Amino acid sequence: MFFKILEFSVLLCIGHLVYAQVGDRCFFQGRNKEGICKLFHDCRSAEEGARRDIEPTVCGYQRNTIIVCCEDSNRNENYNNYQSHNYSPQTNEDPYRPETSDFIFPDQELPIRDRDPIKENTGSSRISEQKCKEYNKAIVGEVQVLPLVANPQPISIKINKCDHNSVPLIVGGKPAQSGKYPFMAALGFNTDEKWLCGGTLISHRFILTAAHCTSSRSGSPVVVRLGALYLSQETSTSEDYRVADIIVHPNYRYPEKYNDIALIRVERDIKFTKYVRPACLYTKDHISQKAAIATGWGRIDYAGETSDRLLEVNLNIYDNSLCQKAYRNNNGLANGITSTMICAGELKGGKDTCQGDSGGPLVVSDKENQCQFYVVGVTSFGKSCGQVNTPAVYTRVSKYVSWIEKHVWNNA
């Protein structure tokens, strides 16, 4: 992580120091050029400049966030999207991956807290949150701004340093860019159709996946591939790791759908690169984002073939009551859809995870650094892929963080 203190002068008006507000006109310091005041993280040119150690012209501050003079071309949007004093950005069967029939093997309600690890900037108390910061040092930079005023208080700005920013975009999915999802894992079995499930890299040794992915007609996973874009190709960016141990959640009971979560430990430490890096665990029960991204090499439709290239799809997160209706006659759900599950998909149909995507991640990204991902769910089960009014169901990671920490980081 880089750390730098920059001294900025703010706008002057009629000889007095003033703070301009979002949407106001401004002039760049030392240049006869006009701009529009924006929050730092809404100004692409200021962020790119900060990465090259170019000091932005500061308009002012709002709730401990810096407002900069921005030269982005879409100036007219600023007057429409910002208010002077109150900024508010616009912001049939279970065929799952592989098919349930290929796999052989009382829910506790927990309170939902209205807190979000992405929004909070408090000291990390959980080992998983500490590791999240450690693993993401390579992509999270920080600049501290020190305004030239009496008794200045430094303001920290996080800057992303990766090549790919997530864009809310498998069934209805789009090809992913190389290195965009460096936590994505493929689970290999001793079979002709080798890559049957997905997973999420979460540490130097562990991959998070679905419990139903750990035992099949072809046995258990024997290898994990990381850093891959195309599964048919072994490239300089990808590497295979032999499976050393599989830890299934103790309360998973096939064919029930509850507690569908497991950990895979590989034989040796995983080398982190631009193409291989862990995702963070989402530790809070309430998910503030309304949409998430699923990734995988699964089927592109219910009767179709699996994808050789990694795909991404943007899915809406729905209230669990929608999935409660869709799966009310499922034999594996004696207690219905519970708080340990997430309901996500597209009610219009056409976007979904499918066979071969099981065990893979459902993620959200940090609004202030969209290179940093948090895994909120594990792809678990669904109906015919992309069906109208039938979201899929994902295991809610936040309900299992303590169990994951105990095994991954020996945090009892």
- Asked whether the beta carbons of 51 and 161 are under 8 A apart, the reply is yes
Residue type, 306: T
Q: How many CB atoms are closer than 10 A to CB 75? A: 15
The strand pairing partners of 12, in sequence order, are: 17
Integer Cα distance of 59 and 62 in angstroms? 10
pLDDT band for 285, please (50, 70, 90 cuts).
confident
Dihedral of alpha carbons 411, 397, 272, 143, sign: negative
CA geometry: angle 117, 273, 409, nearest 5 deg: 50
pLDDT of residue 109 exceeding 70: no
Q: Which residues does the annotation mark as catalytic?
A: 212, 260, 358
How confident is the model at residue 306, as a pLDDT? 67
In tens, the pLDDT along 20-35 reads 788 888 888 667 788 8
- What is the average pLDDT score of the chain? 75
Phi-psi region of 372 (alpha: psi -120 to 50; beta: other; left: phi over 0): beta
Weakest-pLDDT range from 34-43, 248-257, 343-352: 343-352
SS (H, E, C) the chain: CCEEEEEECECEECCEECCCCCCCEEECCCCCCEEEEEEHHHCHHHHHHHHCCCCCCEEEEECCEEEEEECCCCHHHHHHHCCCCCCCCCCCCCCCCCCHHHECCCCCCCCCCCCCCCCCCCCCCCHHHHHHHHHCCCCEEEEEEEECCCCCCCEEEEEECCCCCCCCCCECCEECCCCCCCCEEEEECCCCCCEEEEEEECCCCEEEECHHHCCECCECCCEEEECCCECCCCCCCCEEEEEEEEEECCCCCCCCCCCCCEEEEECCCCCCCCCCCCCEECCCCCCCCCEEEEEECCECCCCCCECCECEEEEEEEECHHHHHHHCCCCCCCCCCCCCCEEEEECCCCCCECCCCCCCCEEEEEECCEEEEEEEEEEEEECCCCCCCCCCEEEEEHHHHHHHHHHHHCCCC
- Higher pLDDT pick, 18 / 200: 200
Chain position carrying tokens 């308009």: 59
Tallying the residues shown for the chain, one arrives at 412
pLDDT of residue 99 exceeding 50: no
Integer Cα distance of 283 and 280 in angstroms? 9
Exposure b/e, 129-168, CB count within 10 A at least 16 = b: bebbeebbeebbbebebebeeeeeeebebbbbbbebebee
In tens, the pLDDT along 158-176 reads 655 565 443 333 444 455 6
The strand pairing partners of 8, in sequence order, are: 147
In tens, the pLDDT along 59-81 reads 877 655 678 889 865 433 333 33
pLDDT band for 412, please (50, 70, 90 cuts).
very low
The pTM (predicted TM-score) of the whole model is 0.68
